[in-house]
Amino acid sequence: MNAIFKLSRQVEFNHCDAAGIVFYPRYFEMIAAVQERFFADALGASWAEMTPAGLGTPMGEITVRFSNPSRLGDMLDFALVVPRIGTASAGLDITCHSGGELRFSCNATVVYAAFDTGRSLPWPADLRTKLTEFLPEDRKKTA
């Protein structure tokens, strides 16, 4: 069974527009926060440690499908899985639900990169191994 990284957070006033609905750019901030927590909490590779070393996982591509609005006070439940791992990149599929209702789904690609050159680097073996835990079972054999 593949692992799923889960994170919950409540919609705060600073996330909302004047109608009390999450302003869609704030979802991108939440996606970045889920990604940051995933690397720190699930993979043991915090951005606080990577950044001073000149390394990071910038977003290479992102697609988001918004399904239903979220409102001030809603509790949002995020789930992240890794559908694929490349030499220097990885896919992240993130879904967000509240009360069982889908709020958005996100398909993203992050790249392991060096800040000084702006170039991608192969995943370190230990980080690649940890990422593999979040692959679907049928893809773990080829990772």
Count Cβ atoms within 10 A of the Cβ of residue 103 and give its class: 0-12 exposed, 13-18 middle, 19 or more buried: buried
**Domain total in the chain:** 1
Q: For position 142, what pLDDT does the model report?
A: 59
97-137 residue pLDDT tens: 999 999 999 999 999 999 999 999 999 999 999 999 999 87
Mean pLDDT for the chain overall: 94
Check which CATH number belongs to the domain holding 133 and give it. 3.10.129.10
Rounded CA-CA distance 47/109 in Å is: 17
Q: Which residue range is the domain that position 134 belongs to?
A: 5-140
- Cβ 92 vs Cβ 57: under 8 Å: no
Are residues 106 and 31 in contact, defined by beta-carbon separation less than 8 angstroms?
yes
Consecutive sets of 10 residues in the chain, 143 residues long: mean pLDDT of each? 89 96 96 97 94 94 98 98 97 97 98 95 96 82 60
Beta strands in the chain (DSSP E): 5-10, 55-56, 59-66, 75-81, 89-98, 101-111, 113-114
